[in-house]
Structure 1
Amino acid sequence: MRYDEIGDVPCSITRPLAIFGDRWTLLILKYSFAGVRRFMGFHDALGISRSRLAERLDRLVEHEILSKHPAGGYEEYRLTEKGHAIYPILMAIRDWGDAYMAPDGPPVRYEHRDCGGEAHVHLTCDVCGKDVTARDIAVSPGPGLGG
């Protein structure tokens, strides 16, 4: 399968990879959540070529994850509701990175503003509310599979 075909695969894990399947896109989103909004802010933070950055930003706008807004002679990129829904994905990656790639401990804490506790991602069953792991999941065809 070619990379440009993965967006057509009937799988809700595979399809998003057509948007998020490279490190630059996830890093742009990380910086978006940190408050970066302008093209040059992303460029300075990431150090990637302007053309690659423009292509990634355009893709995120095309998929309505970011939106462009005029701001004092510049354009700003702001997270949409759809974009904000990506936050748990980044936090899951962060949790994994803290557990397996931070030998001296987490380099950054993500604290709940109200109480100071640290935010983490947990999978739970939507029926019984129990925490689940991959060992607890059975995969079966869903209505979007067709056929």
Structure 2
Amino acid sequence: MALGTGYDQQGCYLARALEVVGERWTLLILRDCFYGVRRFTDLREHLDISRAVLTDRLETLIAAGVLTREDSGGHPEYLLTEGGRALWPTIFALSKWGERYTSGPHPSRIFSHTACDTDIDDFGRCRACGQIPGPDDLVVRPGPGTNAMHRSDRVARALENPHRMLTPISTAVAPAAE
């Protein structure tokens, strides 16, 4: 019997969720959307992803109601919907799992609750007020460690400094001098 390509024979909601977010690259696209990346070219450049794969993943996320595509000054932008924003705890938890159980030349990211100016813990809880803030109430900044990849794209440069989550990257950093 041939191995299936989907989870349609699985009768659970985890399988249904994986149909939307389980493809390679999808969670990284969503991570970047939380960081404020909205434009196709920025996603493509930061992720080093092919145009065809990125187009396919964005179409899937739009069809599933995770992202919307809106025109902004003649350029399409991809924005997280309410359903997309609800994926933040999953993205955060997987990132923290990766920090703890994988190794590599990448620095961690530290998230701070904007209302308290206090770092959140590994479970997403503010250490000062005890709340679990949503992504729109967080600032992300580089943590300890060195980035051996030395990325220089617009997104990587923006994330070298504290950056409010969901704030468009296009307004957060000027392009590099040529």
TM-score normalised according to structure 2 size:
0.62
Map of 1:3 onto structure 2: 5
Map of 1:118 onto structure 2: 120
Map of 1:126 onto structure 2: none
Aligned-partner residue type, residue 76 of structure 2: E
1:101 CA drift (Å): 2.0
Map of 1:64 onto structure 2: 65
User: Which has the larger share of helix?
Assistant: 1
Map of 2:100 onto structure 1: 99
* Residue deviations 1:65-105 (CA, integer Å, cap 9, x gap): 00011100111000000000000001110121122125899
Aligned-partner residue type, residue 114 of structure 2: R
Q: Give aligned-pair identity as a percent.
A: 36
Q: Which moved more, 1:104-113 or 1:51-60?
A: 104-113
Map of 2:35 onto structure 1: 34
TM-score normalised according to structure 1 size:
0.74
Map of 1:133 onto structure 2: none
Q: Secondary structure at the match of 2:76?
A: strand
* Residue deviations 1:79-134 (CA, integer Å, cap 9, x gap): 00000000000111012112212589961111211221224337xxxxxxxxxxxx
Contact 2:110 2:119 in 1 (8 A): no
User: Which has the larger share of strand?
Assistant: 2
CA RMSD between the two structures: 2.1
Aligned-partner residue type, residue 96 of structure 2: D
- How many residues align structurally? 121
Map of 1:84 onto structure 2: 85
Q: Secondary structure at the match of 1:114?
A: coil
Q: Point out where structure 1 has 5 or more consecutive residues left out of the alignment.
A: 123-147
Aligned-partner residue type, residue 87 of structure 2: I
The CA distance in 1 between the partners of 2:34 and 2:97, in whole Å, is: 19
CA gap of 1:117–1:15, structure 2 versus 1, over 3 A, is same
Aligned-partner residue type, residue 118 of structure 1: I
Q: Which has the higher contact order (CA 8 A, sep 6+)?
A: 2
1:41-60 superposed matches below 5 A: 41-60=42-61
Q: Point out where structure 2 has 5 or more consecutive residues left out of the alignment.
A: 125-178
Contact 2:65 2:84 in 1 (8 A): yes
CA gap of 1:75–1:105, structure 2 versus 1, over 3 A, is closer
Aligned-partner residue type, residue 51 of structure 1: A
